[in-house]
């Protein structure tokens, strides 16, 4: 079955036809973090969606070249550095590091390149593009010395967001700093230096200043992926004005279609509300880990809902994630045992075998909810077969092979490189003894002691199993 994606540009599900790929990979650009504070879990929802998309394309045999930019100069980074009283680069460096640390915790595959906007070679590229736009009449320098894109000269402006430009016009010029522009919707390509910028400035034909946020992505994308790219992703809040502006800038310069498929990830809500620091429901990855959850559990919680559906993050949802992963762990442990020893006392010739349903669900606009539904239905059925001793070693191996393949997408297997500490093992044995003696109080106490050591004991049909639990990533 062919891959299909919902293209924001056409607002339709389209078959994925990247054209002639001989000698080249899929070109994928994903808008990265603005490093003025630690990214929140809503940002990471989008990065996990992009991770799943890349992994699925690779499973389907495509090679992917993915670029994720780091926005390290714009209004918020400059303000943050000024308030902290440190140079811009020093200020942004800490959040860059935090971003990579969190991405690693969430098992997000690294992009091939992470260009930073302040790299002189991209600043040069931005200046080159702005000059080209000016010479084509698509940009102008205003009285405030800043350079703006002239949206009235780009008829397609608004097409990605399905935005009516006349609405934009009717709002009139409201803000003081908008007076210099020809049209309220004209956006800055180059922002003239002012005192508040401190020593953050670069020389340009229009005087000292710094690039606008939108041109950064157009320039880095063109520098690393060429004039035309296959897939561009981001969160829905990037659609307007950021991605609309990227199209206008890139196509304004090249005259070619900038992006073939636009994919956008829906919002993350917390307890049904928009996440906001003022509401006290704003969480970073370390905030979630501090509550005793693992990176693997958070990955699952952020991954499990279809990317175009808003995801409601709750602590109950985190517990469900833990439970779901526990089911997968137990299932794999049973399969491994049977694959080695076999348990088929009554092997059934038509025992359920893995099918392609999981992958086909992902072909359908990355429908992870349906794919996971299929996974858990398979777990339920094969567990029943194992309970009834109907699973032979070959079938168990086939399921393990299937898991290995789909886990290249999910990346949800428990860390196996961690040995169970002797102390934890002993406590688990004591607890098992207490349970056999039906001393529930002692059994619960021992469970808590095990949990305090960062481990979790689960009672399965094959006896107690220890997994890394609270407080470990």
Residues that bind Zn ion (CB under 5 A): 31, 217
Considering the complex, what minimum distance in angstroms separates the CB of residue 290 from Zn ion?
A: 30
Residue with Cβ nearer Zn ion (217 or 298): 217
Query: HSE of 123 in the Cβ direction (CA atoms, 13 Å)?
Result: 17
Residue with Cβ nearer Zn ion (31 or 231): 31
Considering the complex, what minimum distance in angstroms separates the CB of residue 441 from Zn ion?
A: 57
- Here the tokens at position 294 are 């693992």
197: three-class secondary structure by DSSP? helix
6: β partners: 13
52 by Cβ neighbours in 10 Å (0-12 / 13-18 / 19+) ranks as buried
Residue with Cβ nearer Zn ion (69 or 343): 69
Considering the complex, what minimum distance in angstroms separates the CB of residue 365 from Zn ion?
A: 22
Rounded-to-integer distance, Cα 263 and Cα 7, Å: 6
Are 247 and 8 contacting, i.e. CB atoms less than 8 angstroms apart?
no
Considering the complex, what minimum distance in angstroms separates the CB of residue 31 from Zn ion?
A: 3
Q: Enumerate residues 6+ apart whose C-beta is below 8 A from 259.
A: 9, 29, 228, 229, 230, 231, 232, 247
Considering the complex, what minimum distance in angstroms separates the CB of residue 266 from Zn ion?
A: 18
Residue with Cβ nearer Zn ion (31 or 298): 31
Considering the complex, what minimum distance in angstroms separates the CB of residue 435 from Zn ion?
A: 55
Residue with Cβ nearer Zn ion (218 or 343): 218
Rg of the chain over CA atoms, in angstroms? 26
Strands 26-30 and 229-235: parallel
Rounded-to-integer distance, Cα 178 and Cα 187, Å: 10
Rounded-to-integer distance, Cα 305 and Cα 303, Å: 6
Residue with Cβ nearer Zn ion (213 or 358): 213
Residue with Cβ nearer Zn ion (258 or 331): 258
Considering the complex, what minimum distance in angstroms separates the CB of residue 237 from Zn ion?
A: 11
């Amino acid at each position: 079955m062919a891959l299909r994606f919902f293209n924001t540009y056409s607002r339709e599900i389209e078959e994925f036809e990247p054209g002639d790929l001989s000698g080249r990979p899929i070109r994928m650009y994903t808008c990265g973090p603005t490093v003025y504070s630690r990214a929140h879990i809503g940002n990471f929802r989008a990065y996990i969606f992009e991770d799943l998309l890349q992994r699925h394309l690779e499973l389907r045999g495509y090679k992917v070249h993915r670029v994720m930019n780091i926005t390290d100069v714009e209004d918020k980074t400059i303000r943050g550095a000024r308030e902290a009283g440190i140079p811009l680069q020093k200020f942004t460096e800490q959040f860059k590091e935090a971003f990579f640390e969190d991405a690693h915790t969430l098992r997000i595959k690294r992009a091939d390149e992470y260009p930073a906007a302040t790299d002189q070679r991209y600043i040069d590229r931005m200046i080159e593009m702005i000059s080209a736009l000016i010479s084509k009449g698509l940009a102008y320098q205003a009285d405030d010395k800043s350079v703006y894109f002239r949206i009235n000269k780009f008829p397609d402006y608004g097409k990605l967001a399905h935005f009516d430009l006349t609405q934009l016009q009717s709002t009139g010029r409201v803000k003081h700093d908008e007076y210099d522009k020809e049209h309220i919707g004209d956006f800055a390509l180059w922002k003239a230096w002012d005192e508040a910028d401190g020593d953050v400035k670069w020389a340009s034909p229009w005087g000292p200043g710094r690039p606008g946020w939108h041109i950064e992505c157009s320039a880095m994308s063109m520098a690393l992926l060429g004039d035309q790219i296959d897939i561009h992703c981001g969160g829905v809040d990037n659609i307007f004005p950021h991605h609309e502006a990227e199209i206008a800038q890139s196509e304004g310069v090249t005259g070619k279609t900038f992006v073939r498929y636009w994919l956008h990830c829906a919002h993350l809500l917390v307890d049904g509300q928009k996440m906001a620091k003022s509401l006290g429901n704003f969480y970073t990855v370390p905030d979630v880990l501090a509550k005793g959850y693992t990176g693997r559990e958070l990955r699952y919680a952020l991954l499990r809902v279809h990317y175009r559906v808003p995801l409601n993050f709750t602590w109950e949802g985190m517990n469900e994630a833990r439970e779901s992963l526990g089911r997968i762990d137990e299932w794999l442990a049973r399969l491994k045992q049977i694959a080695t020893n076999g348990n088929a006392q009554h092997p059934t010739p038509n025992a359920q075998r893995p099918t392609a349903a999981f992958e086909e669900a992902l072909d359908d606009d990355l429908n992870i909810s349906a794919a996971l539904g299929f996974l858990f239905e398979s777990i339920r059925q094969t567990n029943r077969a194992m309970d009834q001793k109907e699973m032979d070693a070959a079938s168990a191996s086939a399921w393990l092979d299937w898991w290995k393949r789909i886990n290249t997408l999910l990346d949800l297997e428990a860390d196996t490189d961690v040995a169970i500490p002797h102390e934890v093992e002993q406590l688990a044995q004591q607890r098992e003894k207490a349970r056999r003696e039906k001393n529930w109080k002692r059994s619960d106490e021992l469970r808590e002691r095990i949990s305090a050591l960062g481990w979790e004991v689960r009672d399965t049909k094959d006896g107690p199993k220890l997994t890394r639990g609270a407080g470990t990533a």
